[in-house]
Structure 1
Amino acid sequence: MKSRILRILPIIIILSLIVNVISGLSIESDNSLKNIIILHINDTHGHLTPYDDDDKSKDIGGMTRVATLIKEMKKENPDSTLILHAGDELSRGDAPTVCFGGEVNMQVIDSIGFDAFTPGNGDFYFSVSNLLKQITFMKVPVLLSNVVYKNNEERLFPSYIIKEVNGVKIAILGLGVIREDHPSGRILKLKDPIQSAKEILPEIMGKSDIIIALSHIGLGADILLAEKCPEFDIIVGGHSHNQLNEPMFVPRKDGKGNIIIVQAGEYTKYLGQLDIGLKKSDSGKYEIIKADGKLIPIDNKIKEDNIALEIISKYDDKLSQVLCELDNDIPYKRNGNNPIGIFTANAVRLNTGSDIALIDLGSVERGIRKGKVTLKEACMIHPWHNQILIYELTGKQIQEVLSEKDSYIAGCTYVKSDGIADNIKINGLALDKSKTYIVAFDEFLSTYMKSLQGLQFEETGKTINNIII
């Protein structure tokens, strides 16, 4: 009996050691370093395909290349990669962006697999209704906590999401900016991003390990956000187009680490990469113990993604549709009389049946050459989707408008002396200051004219792009 006990004892000891080792491994695993890769981009402004930059850089950028790079990096680390877009994908950009209002862009973003998108001010420029329409083309969460409707203070989009990445619960809170003086901001109200964050952060903190601000408020505002809201761990920024080649660290006032700020330039020139390492703290939450980041150039060494190219190519037939044939060029001139600007104003006047039409000087950006004119070329004349508004103005009010601001104009001639418009003629006839005229305005132009503030107008529902086409 004694010998049997002696034989069993070593086995019990060995089993006990195995259990202790396994338990030790379990504890070590629980406290082991968690690595997460955050890929980020901002202020892409409709650069779907590669382009030549104004600074002589050739064949750079393109969301088609960004797509390839992100997918390759995600494939290498499928469970520990977070992909974020900090806004301004729409507004201006290339022909597919302008012609289709972002429909193509949102499909490309969706195909890449972004985890969250915060719209920037530029994403509203084609109108609020357009943005709401275009995001239906993607499943990516759209986050924005500090922009609401004026009439009821309801948010357009959710404020935040919580996503688990490599076992770490990450809260992503969207913060942005709009131009309330822009036509697109007429029905919206911008709330202070810091105050909005302060209101929402207590709700988030108990649900997450770390908190990311996906921000389109600019670098200066991001730094202030970090100082005023130390609950954030990371701020992925946009709006100011800053090329931060390495992360910026803003120390917390209590000495407990830093808030990390990153931003990846503009126009798909770079993809940002932030690598963070996390361990569990005494509170049981993961906290960042190390961070390193860089910008990856998007150049011609990166192939374009086939799926993104396929999405874009579906619109090629529409873009190549011939609208008309011109006998002569209608050039764009930056200074003096701009033929394409006058052409645009005339098109608006004829389409609306107004006496005169006025178009903002900065809104017309490209001329067209003689020969066949395609949809692609016509769309790029005016890349803003500005709506046309109709005002009924007296001759006296027209003089005030013409004196206040220069514009491309059709149906009217005048001379200006010491800031006062004089010798005004409407369709060849002298201006009658007591008569009422029908005047078509570019919505953007009218928003900034003091002489029009408070006056009634009619929304035509027509954009300059629609009229040109």
Structure 2
Amino acid sequence: MEEIIHIYHTNDLHSHLEHWPRIHKLVTERRRWHVEEGDEVFVFDIGDHMDRWHPLSDATRGKANCRLLNEAGYDAGTIGNNEGITLPFEDLDSMYQEKEFEMLVANLYKQDGSRPAWAKPYQVYISKKGTRIGVIGVTVHFGRFYEQLGWKLTDPMEEVKNCVEEIKGESDIIILLSHLGIHDDERIASLFPEIDIILGGHTHHILHQGKEVGSSLLAGAGRFGYFAGHVTVKLDVDTKQILEKTAVLYEMMEEGLSDREKEKAAAFYKEGKELMSEQVTILPVELAADPMQHNELASLLVQALKEWCNADCAFMNAGMILKGLKQGEVTRFDLLEICPHPINPCTITMSGAELKEILLQTRDETWPHMQIKGFGFRGTVMGVMEYAGIEFRQKGNVPQVFINGELIAAKKQYLLAIPDMFTFGRFFPEIQRAEEKQYWLPEFLRHLLEWKLTNRKITI
């Protein structure tokens, strides 16, 4: 006699709630169908469901995302880096207070070594036919950032090892909810053959029919709710041996959204906008923005970056500002709309020689048109570079750099403030390699802009 277990999974929605109505419909309808057939069904989220670019997520600090998971009947989830390191400690610690599902994060602790009340390392479910399904959750090891926010993050590989040892004797099937990325998922599959299914996220990988690595089936459903995943497991009821494992992805946008679905998505946005209607300031003049031109608003933000971090100088790309601010009232929603990135300030201590080399690189004519994806960036192009405390002059054929009016000194130490985006990837190898970095959490660039607008008189 066979038992069929259906597992639906989503990952990296990043608060693209315009796609949520269709996902909600899929998982709730499918659960009803499978229950009527007498099959077992589970629904899991693999993290980064929340992203603070969306006003509803930002205004409620993710509590609205928790509500949506409740309403869709999810059984369990894990956190991604967007839940973990874009929220202050208190907000993450309270985000899941009203959850009706399990949050599985084996490698997250408070700094005293205790686990948060809302999370556990694993859960063992028992099907109606007596099959024991062990489910473990882990999130990507951004330990340095978690530590600054008041959390302690441990090595996910070690935690997976510990959890597998604990539950393999009491589980017939082991499932891992992994917000680690495809490469770590493949490594885990090789190291832990006891794990039957790895539902992945973080690297936004798309596995249309899954991927077999050793005895494990890997699955991943891309990003932004474009897909939802479905894994089907057939096993022998008596021996509990798995007979077949298959994976498939459903394309959520195969057909256009219905008017009712569009209304629901618009309602999410409207609710968030209303919650963020608090006035920040009143502008006496319009502040324009254009990524390809030096402009008042980007200049204001880079000045705020320098001042907030008490740095000697700062630079950032004008593409951080997506559009300008009109004359008159400015609300928190307005600032979210023009600067939606979950990007934090970062300061780096370096010598004048190192700093000069980096600053000269920023003048490369290819920068403005460079298209960027990832790193928290929510715009399209890099845009021109804006500077604070930095001036370039030409002496014959020799470029000169001045910091706050003084010629840069090769051996002097300077404190540079930048968006943390520049410390990742291959933008500036010298910055990526620099050891003396400080990330300023949990403030985003838009919070610095709010601080600047609130505390400085605008006379532009």
TM-score by length of 1: 0.71
| Matched residue, 2:171 | 208
> Is 1:40 matched up with 2:9?
yes
* CA deviations over 1:84-114 (Å, ceiling 9, x no partner): 1111223454333345543332322232221
% of aligned pairs identical?
A: 20
Question: Given residue 275 of structure 2, which amino acid in structure 1 is its aligned partner?
Answer: K
* Structure 1 residues 167-220: Cα deviation after superposition (integer angstroms, max 9, x where no partner): 332111012213346x44656666554443222212112222211011112223
Residue identity opposite 2:128 in structure 1: N
Greater shift, 101-110 or 203-212, is seen at: 101-110
Q: Which of 241, 262, 267 is matched with 1:287 structurally?
A: 241
CA distance in 2, matches of 1:47, 1:178: 24
Return closer, same or farther for 1:452/1:338 CA change in 2, 3 Å cut-off.
farther
Task: Give 1:439 deviation, angstroms.
Answer: 6.4
Q: Which amino acid aligns with 2:122?
A: Y
Amino acid at match of 1:409: Y
**Residue matched to 1:222:** 185
Instruction: Find out whether 1:68 has 2:22 as its counterpart.
Output: no
1:298 aligned onto 2:256: no
In structure 2, how many angstroms separate the alpha carbons of the residues matched to 1:223 and 1:451?
Answer: 27
Cα distance between partner residues in 1 of 2:421 and 2:347: 12
Give the Cα separation in 2 of the matches to 1:451 and 1:34. Answer: 53
Counterpart in the other structure of 2:336: 379
Matched, 1:272 2:248: no
Following superposition, the deviation at residue 452 of structure 1 comes to: 7.4
CA contact (8 A) 1:146 1:155 kept: no
Aligned length: 404
Note the residue ranges of structure 2 that are not aligned, 5 or more in a row: 363-384, 425-430, 451-460
Q: How does 1:187-206 map to 2 (within 5 A)?
A: 191-206=154-169
Deviates more, 1:190-199 or 1:77-86: 190-199
Match of 2:85 among 125, 138, 144: 125
Residue 358 (structure 1) aligned with residue 336 (structure 2): no
Matching of residue 90 in structure 1 with residue 50 in structure 2: yes
Contact 2:287–2:296 (Cα < 8 Å) also in 1: no
Q: Which amino acid aligns with 2:162?
A: E
Q: 1:355 to 1:290 in 2, by over 3 A?
A: closer
Distance across 2 between alignment mates of 1:97 and 1:137: 15
Partner-residue secondary structure (3-state), 2:97: helix
Deviations 1:362-419 (A, max 9, x none): 982522254565533311333345555789x8xx9567545445564324423599xx
RMSD value, Cα: 4.1
Q: Aligned equivalents of 2:408 and 2:206: distance in 1?
A: 55
Asked if the contact 1:403/1:421 (under 8 Å) is kept, the reply is: no
2:333 aligned with 1:367 = no
Match of 2:138 among 175, 179, 186: 175
Q: Deviations over 1:64-99 (max 9, x none)?
A: 321222222223334722011111223454333345
Compute the displacement of 1:468 (Å): 2.4
Is contact 2:400-2:407 (8 Å) kept? no
Structure 1 SS opposite 2:174: strand
Aligned pairs for 1:93-108 (under 5 A) are 93-98=53-58, 100-108=60-68
Please list every run of 5 or more consecutive structure 1 residues that lacks an aligned counterpart in the other structure: 1-31, 50-61, 253-258
2:147 and 2:295 map into 1 onto residues whose CA distance is 29
Of the three residues 384, 402, 405, the one matched with 1:424 is 402
Q: 1:180 to 1:336 in 2, by over 3 A?
A: farther
Contact 1:104 1:311 in 2 (8 A): no
Residue pair 2:11, 2:200 contacting (<8 A) in 1 also: yes
1:330 aligns with 2:291: no
Shift of 1:465: 2.4
Structure number with bigger Rg: 1
1:465 equivalenced with 2:446 (yes/no)? yes
Deviation by residue 1:289-328 (Cα, 9 ceiling, x = unmatched):
2333322222334653988876665433234556545754
Match of 1:140 in 2: 101
Cα separation, partners in 2 of 1:120 and 1:421, compared to 1, 3 Å:
farther
Per-residue CA shift, 1:244-302, capped at 9, x if unaligned?
221323343xxxxxx222111111001111222222244xxx33223333222223346
Pick closer, same or farther for the CA change 1:365–1:34 going to 2, 3 Å.
farther
Q: Which amino acid aligns with 2:74?
A: F
Q: Which amino acid aligns with 1:265?
A: G
Whichever residue aligns with residue 288 of structure 1, its letter is: I
Contact 2:325 2:334 in 1 (8 A): no
CA contact (8 A) 1:359 1:445 kept: no
Q: d(CA) in 2 for partners of 1:416 and 1:288?
A: 72
- TM-score under structure 2 length normalisation: 0.72
| CA deviations over 1:111-162 (Å, ceiling 9, x no partner) | 222111111233333146143342335343221223556x666555421111
Contact 1:399–1:421 at 8 Å: present in 2 too? Answer: no
Q: 1:236 to 1:148 in 2, by over 3 A?
A: same
Is the alpha carbon distance of 1:385 and 1:228 closer, same or farther for their aligned partners in structure 2, counting shifts above 3 Å?
closer
Amino acid at match of 1:430: E
Task: Choose from 385, 410, 429 the match for 2:388.
Answer: 410
Partner of 2:41: 81
- Residues 211, 306 of structure 1: CA spacing in aligned structure 2 closer, same or farther, 3 A cutoff? farther
Aligned to 2:69: 109
Q: Distance in 2 between matches of 1:250 and 1:341?
A: 48
Residues 140-159 of structure 1: pairs in structure 2 closer than 5 A: 140-147=101-108, 157-159=119-121
- Structure 1 equivalent of residue 417 of structure 2: 441
